[in-house]
Amino acid sequence: MLRALPPLKIGQQMVRYPIIQGAMAVRVSGGRLAGAVANAGGVGVISALGLGLDYLSFDPSPKLKGFFAANQLALVEELQKARAISPSGTIGVNILVATKDYPTMAHTAATHGANLIITAGGLPLTLPEYLADSPNVALVPMVCGLDAVQAICQTWQARYNRLPDALIVENSKTAGGHIGTTCDTFDGRIEHLMPQIQNYLQNQLQVEIPLIAAGGIWDRADVDRMLARGASGVQVGTRFIMTEECDADRRYKAFHLHAKPADVVVVPSPIGKPARALRNTFAQKAIADASDLERRCVANCLENCLCRDSRKTYCVLQALARAARGDVENGLIFSGANVGRAAQILPVAAVMADLTGVREAICA
């Protein structure tokens, strides 16, 4: 018989199960998926990247304010959708530091019901100043090495007299989407990264900050293994794609369902980092830097973009959105390395039951 999982405390949030749903863009993890995970006792997470692309008020003409305004409105809508599903559950928003509207989206999330802000795609050295009016919102940077942890903690202590409420530690060998390029210590393997980070936090800063293991987490055995290594919780991404509540098109879910480990490839990205995805026509073109690869920037969303600035790679926003809408051959399909293990599309409650060992209906 499985032992009961401990709850997860992040800042002022007490989560029933130590499971965070990974953020997946564009509109793969929206309000519906996040609400279902939160309602099942985990942390549901909305990905803020590119929400405005499908928002009704988005004007595709080159009015940059139109796109960013649409992003804000769409995020508020997704938060409302998640909260309607899970009135008292824990809802987070994942925001890329590399996006131009990162400060605005962080403030919008905090003032419209998000319990925590997760950051990825860069070092969030100034994040606390955007949340000065929301002290109850937990701040959770995603990191992939000790250098990033030191930079964040030292900067936040000196400038804002605070530390992260938790840290998501990415396993760069298995995580889906963009892979941290600074994770060269021990090849980014989490079994080496976790003790390094714990030693720094406990012995140099003399603090206890929850560490969340991310990348390659699939079942209860993976959860138990990470908790045994000192993690306070885990982040699960790819498995939640194959759920009924996932916000992506059914063809996107089916593509993941039928994928095998051999289908996982690493593609270049306009962000300047490699990314883990599933092999399809688009991925093959991106890897080969094919001449017919579309290089049109549709939203000017990134601070630094190889597509916009150098006409290299492709528009990551458009590529991700196209796939999530169901064009699984001509869009970019991010995925973790741990695919090929799902047998069917399941409700979120069933996935959470498998991860937690709690078989009855789960409600936070």
> pLDDT tens for residues 212-243?
999 999 999 999 999 999 999 999 999 999 99
The answer to whether residues 122 and 258 belong to one domain is no
Cβ atoms of residues 175 and 336 within 8 Å: yes
Residues 6+ apart with CB under 8 A from 187: 172, 173
Cβ atoms of residues 147 and 155 within 8 Å: no
The answer to whether residues 19 and 111 belong to one domain is yes
The answer to whether residues 213 and 120 belong to one domain is yes
pLDDT score of 364? 44
Query: What range does the domain containing 284 cover?
Result: 253-324
User: In which residue are the tokens 């069933």 written?
Assistant: 350
For the chain, the residue count is: 364
pLDDT score of 187? 44
pLDDT at 58 over 90: no
Confidence band (pLDDT; 50, 70, 90) for 31? very high
Using N-to-C axis directions, what is the helix angle for 190-199 and 146-160, rounded to 10°? 30
137 to 107, 154, 190: CA distances (angstroms):
10, 20, 27
Residue 156 falls within a domain, yes or no?
A: yes
- How many CB atoms sit inside 10 A of residue 109's CB? 30
The answer to whether residues 206 and 94 belong to one domain is yes
Which tens digit of pLDDT belongs to each residue from 71-104? 999 999 999 999 999 999 999 999 999 999 999 9
- How many CB atoms sit inside 10 A of residue 220's CB? 15
Average pLDDT across the chain, whole number: 92
**Which domain CATH number covers 40?**
3.20.20.70
The answer to whether residues 189 and 232 belong to one domain is yes
Residue 123 falls within a domain, yes or no?
A: yes
Residue 80 falls within a domain, yes or no?
A: yes
Cβ atoms of residues 233 and 5 within 8 Å: no
Residues 6+ apart with CB under 8 A from 137: 11, 109, 110, 114, 115, 116, 117, 131
The answer to whether residues 204 and 68 belong to one domain is yes
pLDDT at 145 over 70: yes
Residue 330 falls within a domain, yes or no?
A: no
The answer to whether residues 214 and 229 belong to one domain is yes
Taking the C-alpha atoms of residue 31 and residue 47, their distance in angstroms, rounded to an integer, is 9
The answer to whether residues 63 and 137 belong to one domain is yes
**What is the total count of domains within the chain?**
2
Residue 363 falls within a domain, yes or no?
A: no
Residue 90 falls within a domain, yes or no?
A: yes
Q: What is the pTM of this model?
A: 0.94
The answer to whether residues 176 and 241 belong to one domain is yes
DSSP string, 274-340: -EEEE-SHHHHHHHHT-TTS----SS--BSS-HHHHH--S--HHHHHHHHHTT--SSS--B--S--S
Residue 314 falls within a domain, yes or no?
A: yes
Amino acid at 295: R
The answer to whether residues 101 and 201 belong to one domain is yes
Residue 204 falls within a domain, yes or no?
A: yes
Report, as an integer, the average pLDDT of 175-203. 77
Find, among 236, 278, 276, 274, the residue nearest to 257 by Cα: 278
5 to 18, 150, 218, 270: CA distances (angstroms):
7, 30, 16, 40
Taking the C-alpha atoms of residue 220 and residue 198, their distance in angstroms, rounded to an integer, is 23
Residues 6+ apart with CB under 8 A from 150: 200
Taking the C-alpha atoms of residue 52 and residue 317, their distance in angstroms, rounded to an integer, is 10
Which tens digit of pLDDT belongs to each residue from 275-315? 999 999 999 999 999 999 999 999 999 999 999 999 999 99
pLDDT score of 358? 86
The answer to whether residues 187 and 245 belong to one domain is yes
Residues 6+ apart with CB under 8 A from 214: 20, 22, 142, 168, 169, 170, 171, 175, 234, 235, 237
The answer to whether residues 144 and 282 belong to one domain is no
Using N-to-C axis directions, what is the helix angle for 220-228 and 348-356, rounded to 10°? 50
DSSP string, 196-247: HHHHIIIIIS-----EEEESS--SHHHHHHHHHTT-SEEEE-HHHHTBTT-S
Confidence band (pLDDT; 50, 70, 90) for 65? low
